[in-house]
């Protein structure tokens, strides 16, 4: 990103040594090191949080797909049960009509005889 080489770092160190002096340079180095460590920690936490968020988004997507699949399966099952129920009702109605016809006496002209 910045492409700072050893020679540029050496020049920065020498300028800092001349400007600050040998007494303040170690304190500045510790402060800069602490800031760099904190920045790395923040970046590490941010990266971990982004990873968790992306995993959470993926899990939500999978959950939505599973929910949709279950709903589709339930609709299919419901339709199948309704078809079977209507088929059974029609079959039972036919049997009831056939039994009623067998029990009800008819006259010669095909009309029902009233008791």
Whether this prediction's pTM lies above 0.85 is answered by: no
C-alpha 109: how far from its chain's center? 72
In sequence order, what are the beta bridge partners of 106? 112
Other beta carbons within 10 Å of 14: 10
Q: How far apart are CA 71 and CA 64, in angstroms?
A: 10
Q: Contact 28/16 with Cβ under 8 angstroms? A: yes
Ranges of the chain with pLDDT below 70: 1-2, 105-115
Predicted local distance difference test score (pLDDT) of residue 85:
95
């Amino acid at each position: 990103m910045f492409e700072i080489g050893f020679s540029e770092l050496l020049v920065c160190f020498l300028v800092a040594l001349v400007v600050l002096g040998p007494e303040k340079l170690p304190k500045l180095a510790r402060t800069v090191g602490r800031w760099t460590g904190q920045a790395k920690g923040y970046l590490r936490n941010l990266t971990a949080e982004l990873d968790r968020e992306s995993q959470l988004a993926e899990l939500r997507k999978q959950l939505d797909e599973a929910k949709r699949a279950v709903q589709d399966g339930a609709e299919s099952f419901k339709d199948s049960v309704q078809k079977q129920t209507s088929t059974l009702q029609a079959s039972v109605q036919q049997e009831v009509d056939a039994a009623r016809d067998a029990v009800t006496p008819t006259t010669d002209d095909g009309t029902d005889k009233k008791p």
